[in-house]
A and B are shown apart, each in its own frame.
Chain A
Amino acid sequence: EPEVTQTPSHQVTQMGQEVILRCVPISNHLYFYWYRQILGQKVEFLVSFYNNEISEKSEIFDDQFSVERPDGSNFTLKIRSTKLEDSAMYFCASNGAGHTDTQYFGPGTRLTVL
């Protein structure tokens, strides 16, 4: 069964460093998403991506964040200069048909900023 994969499973970085989180969505999907969950809090939407551009983003997704689909299979989230408060579990998701279609989630990348 197709699944969303994410690498790495755990990333530790120093404050101020850049990180890139990688995702491989399900191959025939068209919509891609990033969410995050800070420990003890709700899962929060960051950004959605369709047709090679951002279609929606939340207030969290400021200039420090960017997304890219560099080739036909990968979808990346870059944080330019990490802060302590960026420590969270980051989830990638994808679906084929937008808002009434199931979003399939990857297992997440746990980012720890020291």
Chain B
Amino acid sequence: ILNVEQSPQSLHVQEGDSTNFTCSFPSSNFYALHWYRWETAKSPEALFVMTLNGDEKKKGRISATLNTKEGYSYLYIKGSQPEDSATYLCASNNAGNMLTFGGGTRLMVKP
């Protein structure tokens, strides 16, 4: 059984703070690591798909890194804004097409 873990479970930051979360995943038979941003009552929004060790991806103030050898990924948010408040999910592809999800990090940004 594959296990994907995310930390912390929740995070409260002030507007303007930079923050980061961790996703750990099995490194064996690794295909890809996906990050999603999910607001309640909306579709999870795809942020990044990363496949190669050392990959770094950026989308505006959000960036992510990937270490496939040790099985972890970091998601960074620079200068958090209230609209960044959401649950951030990571999911690992280790076999076939199925995604195995972590429990998510719930981010709350206070104005």
Using a CB–CB cutoff of 8 Å, the interface residues on chain A facing chain B are 3-4, 31, 33, 35, 42-45, 48, 50, 55-56, 58, 91, 95, 98-108
Is the CB–CB distance between B36 and A105 below 8 Å? yes
Among B4, B34, B98, B101, the residue within 8 A (CB) of A102 is B34
Most chain A beta-carbon contacts within 10 A, residue among B32, B99, B104: B99
Is the CB–CB distance between A43 and B97 below 8 Å? no
Is the CB–CB distance between B44 and A91 below 8 Å? yes
Is the CB–CB distance between B97 and A55 below 8 Å? yes
Chain B interface SS verdict (over half): loop
Is the CB–CB distance between A99 and B44 below 8 Å? no
- Nearest chain B CB to A101 CB, angstrom units: 7
Is the CB–CB distance between B36 and A56 below 8 Å? no
* B contact residues, range: 20 to 34
Among B32, B96, B104, the residue within 8 A (CB) of A56 is B96
Beyond A35-B99, A103-B34, list 4 extra A-B contacts (CB 8 Å).
A55-B97, A99-B32, A100-B32, A104-B43
- Nearest chain A CB to B71 CB, angstrom units: 17
Among A50, A56, A105, the residue within 8 A (CB) of B44 is A105
Chain A positions within 8 Å of B76 at CB level: none
Measured in the bound complex, the distance between the Cα atoms of B6 and A58 in whole Å is 22
Chain B positions within 8 Å of A107 at CB level: 41-43
Is the CB–CB distance between A45 and B44 below 8 Å? no
- Nearest chain A CB to B62 CB, angstrom units: 15
- Nearest chain A CB to B57 CB, angstrom units: 12
Is the CB–CB distance between A42 and B34 below 8 Å? no
- Nearest chain A CB to B30 CB, angstrom units: 10
Measured in the bound complex, the distance between the Cα atoms of B100 and A35 in whole Å is 10
Chain A positions within 8 Å of B101 at CB level: 35, 42-44
- Nearest chain A CB to B63 CB, angstrom units: 17
- Nearest chain A CB to B37 CB, angstrom units: 11
Is the CB–CB distance between A102 and B42 below 8 Å? no
